[in-house]
Amino acid sequence: MRHLMSPLDLTVEELDNILNLANDIELHPEKYAHACEGKKLATLFYEPSTRTRLSHEAAMLNLGGSVLGFSSADSCSASKGESVSDTIRMVSCYADICAMRHPKEGAPMVACRHSSIPVINAGDGGHQHPTQTLTDLLTIRSLKGRLDNLKIGLCGDLKFGRTVHSLIHALVRYTGIEFVLISPEELRLPGYMREDVLEKHNVPYKEVVRMEEALPELDILYMTRVQKERFFNEEDYVRMKDFYILDAKKMELANEDMLVLHPLPRVNEIAVEVDKDPRAAYFKQVQYGVYVRMALILTLLEIDVK
Ligand code: CP
């Protein structure tokens, strides 16, 4: 039985297979419409979500399966003190696969140790968000035609942004990848990510504070929200929250074929006027998120559609 805790749980070949399957699902959705009939997905969300929960549910429904679950810690027995390990034992009796989001880093890992069904990490604290990474990879590969030889700017909250951490883990395994890390000093990419991941893989990177400095050289700009929920005090969040705002004027500095991605939700970091720029890919990214989660569910359930 396979779980997905981090992009590193998948080899590059397995990642490519999931992306290929997602492309086939996009082209031939009818082929997959009954693939999960009789199967159930449980969504165990101890932290708020719009995209990740609903896209997992849409993915299972598109495959002909059913869904059940909870959307907050307050609406399940965690509020009475039930542990994650006990909860997953229950859910293993109710469902065939589950997606778990939790504010504590490592909680989905605890779950998979006590689970008899595949567990998907749907985001754990500031740690990892592997299904967002699958979404990002599918978006980049579909719109750029490749996952190698790319210069990628990661902008915003690189300290707490779990989507950034997972994306770096996945992309360092492809050739010709370079990163420009764009953040204020307080929200720099953590040392363990720079030293144990980027430097260990000999991936070139530089750190800059001004977005304008990086924009002209990028193939991809990956914007992120300042993660309010991970700050220890409101004052620091207020000081940081509008540090970066991508607007139409700044987009003039970028290449004609640079793509703007964002895992969403967006707050102020991308002005609404950018939405109509053909380089804005963040709403297309949401649709790719459904295809790739369909592919992931089929892969983890070992369902082969001919
Ligand atoms: N991208 C993402 O994780 O969005 P949600 O928090 O809405 O699930």
**Per-residue pLDDT tens digits for 200-231:** 999 999 999 999 999 999 999 999 998 777 76
Question: Is residue 113 annotated as part of the catalytic site, yes or no?
Answer: no
Lining ligand 1 with CB less than 6 A are 49-52, 123, 132, 263-265
Q: Describe the crossing of helices 51-62 and 282-300 by its angle, rounded to 10 degrees.
A: 50
pTM of the predicted structure, to 2 decimals: 0.96
- Closest of 115, 95, 107, 98 to residue 38, by C-alpha: 95
Please report, as a single letter, which amino acid is at residue 287: Q
One of 3, 51, 141, 162 is an active-site residue; which one?
51
Question: Is residue 52 annotated as part of the catalytic site, yes or no?
Answer: yes
Give the residues of the chain that fall short of pLDDT 70. Answer: 231
Residue minimizing CA distance to atom 3 of ligand 1: 52
| Centroid of ligand 1 to alpha carbon of 261 (angstroms) | 13
Please provide residue 156's backbone torsions phi and psi, each rounded to the nearest 5 degrees: 120, -125
CA–CA gap between residue 157 and residue 233 (Å, rounded) = 15
Based on its alpha-carbon atoms, the radius of gyration of the chain, rounded to whole angstroms, reads 19
Q: Describe the crossing of helices 282-300 and 12-27 by its angle, rounded to 10 degrees.
A: 110
pLDDT score, position 238: 79
| Centroid of ligand 1 to alpha carbon of 306 (angstroms) | 32
pLDDT score, position 21: 98
pLDDT score, position 231: 67
